[in-house]
């Protein structure tokens, strides 16, 4: 039996420590992991918990991220609680197995500390790896700070392992900006944290020797579509009610309220930015300042990226005239993901909205408050004009001549 750890009500943790503490508290049965910057401390912290008797599950230090997820899949199919962590190139190496985990409906939890993808090589935070995972059939949660990274891990285990869901889930946090920035984190004691997630309930577990099960079958043209349709259907219909229920229960337990789409100053807003990660907190600060100047601007933070919160966004965007989609990943030849998904979300609505795209912060470049002020000024001009007054896509904070398209 693992030792319990006495925690203060508020601990000073960075995002990595917050995630690793949550992983410890839910008593994972198997962690198969491989270190990579900036998620390495999650794996190191977990190793230290193990070395000091706070973890009694298996900790398998494999030889690559691909093997990490492969081991997680085998362990999960065997029947128990499983999680790991990665970033960037490691995430990219894992991609093949991400589709296999979700297609096999195995509730693996993956902490992704977001980092840019090479080339050129870069260890800092942007959302390229997060975007790479968006068609992989996983649930994707996004944390904006260490507290979120801690809390959303509990939500992720509870939702993913639900037999109605049985889908793997990622908890994203921004590399360095969240993962290595220590803040005050309100903690749960070990028993409370574990009870919130509950005991792991096996399903089709290979280790149930009285019920042999074949996992990872082949399906060709006669069966593949039905399996994919089933998975897509379950992502589209079964996940949000469970996430909402978990958010409600978590609020009751801790007083901390999470929403599938987070809104700040949006009620009577003319213009909003839609963004993810640490950019949300910066944008909220700027929006608060602009509100004091009488400018009707707000922020929408995406909390759940997959499944895409279509209904929640339509609701949040009611009455808003101009939207700036802020993408922290190089679109490489098109609009940013958020722009495209938001366009698809609002295009059939009754209200006319002006949607523009800002690409920012690649490779860990800071997003400045002054830049957000400029963005808001442009968005308010769009709202006023009822049409774009700027190019549809602009890259901001990059040296050299102004770069924009369309």
Partner 1 sequence: MIDNGWDEFEIGAMLRSFDGAVKDIATTLQEDRPYSKNNSFTASVADWRIEKPVFNKDYCIDCQFCWIYCPDISIISRDKKMVGIDYDHCKGCAICVEVCPTNPKSLLMFEEKMDEDEALAGWPEKENKEK
Partner 2 sequence: MSEMKKIKNLKEFSTSADRFEGANLLCPGCAHSIIVREILNATNDDLILSASTGCLEVCTAVYPYTSWDASWIHIGFENGSTAVAGAEAMYKALKRKGRLKQPDREPKFVSFAGDGASYDIGFQWISGCFERGHNIMHVVLDNEVYANTGGQRSSSTPIGSSTTTAPAGRVSYGEKQNKKDMLAIMAAHGAPYVAQVAPNKWKDMIKKIQHGFAVEGPVFINAMSACTTEWKFLPEDTIAISDLATDSLVFPLYEIIDGTKLNITYRPKNVIPVKDYLGAQGRFKHLFKPENKHVLDEWQKRVDEKWEYLQRREEAGV
| Per-residue x/- track, 11-30, partner 2 (CB under 8 A) | ------------------xx
Residue 207 partner contact from partner 2, partner 1, none using kind-dependent CB cut-offs of 5 to 8 Å: partner 2
CB 255 within 8 A of CB 281: no
Segments in 84-172 forming alpha helices (H): 88-103, 128-132, 146-160
Among 75, 93, 169, 337, binds partner 2 (CB under 8 A): 75
- Binding pattern for the stretch 321-360 against partner 1, x by CB under 8 A and - elsewhere: ----------------------------------------
Which residue from 47, 74, 184, 391 is in contact with partner 2, where contact means CB under 8 A?
A: 74
| Contacting partner 2 within 167-206 (CB under 8 A) | 205-206
Contact status: 404 vs partner 2 (CB under 8 A):
no
| 119 belongs to the binding site for partner 2 (CB under 8 A) | no
Distance CA 162, CA 171 (A): 17
* Contact call for residue 219 and partner 1 (CB under 8 A): yes
Contact call for residue 60 and partner 2 (CB under 8 A): yes
225 binds, among partner 1, partner 2, none (CB under 5 to 8 A by kind): partner 1
- Residue 222 binds partner 1, judged by CB under 8 A: yes
Cβ-based neighbour number of residue 52 at 10 Å = 11
Find, among 246, 267, 265, the residue nearest to 256 by Cα.
246
Closest to 116 in 3D by CA, of 365, 403, 399 = 365
Rule CB under 8 A: say whether 209 interacts with partner 2. yes
3-state SS, residue 400: coil
Position 217 contacts partner 2 (CB under 8 A): yes
Neighbours of 312 (CB within 10 A): 21
Q: Of 137, 61, 40, give the one whose Cα is nearest residue 95.
A: 137
Environment class of 61 (CB within 10 Å of its CB; exposed 0-12, middle 13-18, buried 19+): middle
Residue 319 CB: number of other CB atoms within 10 A? 12
- 183 contacts partner 1 (rule: CB under 8 A): no
Q: Is 73 in the site for partner 2 (CB under 8 A)?
A: yes
Grouping H, G, I as helix, E, B as strand and the rest as coil, residue 331 is coil
Cα–Cα distances (Å) from 161 to 242, 249, 303, in that order, read 11, 16, 19
Instruction: Determine the interface stretch with partner 2 among 41-49, 77-85, 260-268, 346-354 (rule: CB under 8 A).
Output: 77-85
Q: Minimum CB separation from partner 1 for residue 91, in Å?
A: 23
Residues at the contact surface with partner 1, assessed by CB under 8 A = 103-106, 166, 204, 210-217, 219, 222, 225-227, 229-231, 233-234
């Amino acid at each position: 039996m693992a030792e319990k750890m006495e925690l203060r009500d508020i601990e000073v943790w960075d995002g990595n420590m917050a995630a690793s503490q949550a992983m410890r508290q839910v008593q994972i049965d198997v962690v198969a992991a491989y270190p990579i910057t900036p998620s390495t401390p999650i794996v190191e912290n977990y190793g230290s918990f193990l070395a000091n008797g706070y973890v009694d599950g298996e900790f398998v230090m494999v030889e690559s991220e691909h093997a990490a997820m492969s081991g997680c899949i085998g362990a999960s199919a065997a029947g128990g609680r499983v999680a790991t962590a990665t970033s960037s190139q490691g995430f990219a190496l894992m991609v093949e197995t991400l589709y296999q985990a979700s297609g096999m409906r195995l509730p693996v939890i993956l902490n992704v500390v977001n980092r840019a993808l090479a080339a050129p090589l870069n260890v800092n935070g942007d959302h390229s790896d997060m975007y790479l995972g968006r068609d992989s059939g996983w649930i994707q949660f996004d944390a904006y700070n260490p507290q979120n990274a801690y809390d959303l891990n509990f939500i992720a285990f509870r939702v993913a392992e639900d037999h109605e869901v049985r889908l793997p889930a990622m908890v994203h946090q921004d590399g360095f900006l969240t993962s290595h920035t220590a803040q005050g984190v309100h903690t749960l004691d070990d028993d409370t944290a574990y009870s919130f997630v509950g005991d792991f309930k096996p399903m089709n577990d290979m280790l149930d020797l009285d019920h042999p099960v074949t996992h990872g079958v082949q399906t060709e043209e006669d069966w593949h579509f039905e399996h994919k349709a089933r998975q897509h259907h379950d992502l589209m219909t079964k996940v949000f009610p469970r996430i909402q229920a978990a958010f409600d229960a978590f609020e009751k337990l801790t007083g901390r309220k999470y929403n599938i789409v987070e809104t700040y100053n949006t009620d009577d807003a003319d213009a909003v930015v839609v963004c993810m990660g640490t950019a949300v907190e910066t944008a909220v600060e700027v929006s608060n300042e602009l509100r004091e100047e009488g400018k009707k601007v707000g922020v929408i933070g995406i909390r759940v990226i997959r499944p895409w919160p279509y209904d929640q966004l339509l609701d949040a965007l009611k009455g808003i005239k101009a939207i700036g989609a802020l993408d922290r990943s190089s679109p490489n030849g098109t609009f940013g993901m958020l722009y495209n998904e938001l366009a698809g979300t609002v295009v059939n609505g009754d209200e006319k909205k002006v949607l523009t795209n800002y690409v920012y912060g690649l490779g860990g470049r800071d997003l400045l408050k002054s830049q957000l002020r400029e963005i808001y000024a442009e968005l308010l001009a769009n709202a006023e004009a009822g049409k774009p007054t700027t190019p549809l896509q602009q890259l901001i904070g990059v040296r050299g001549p102004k770069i924009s398209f369309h």
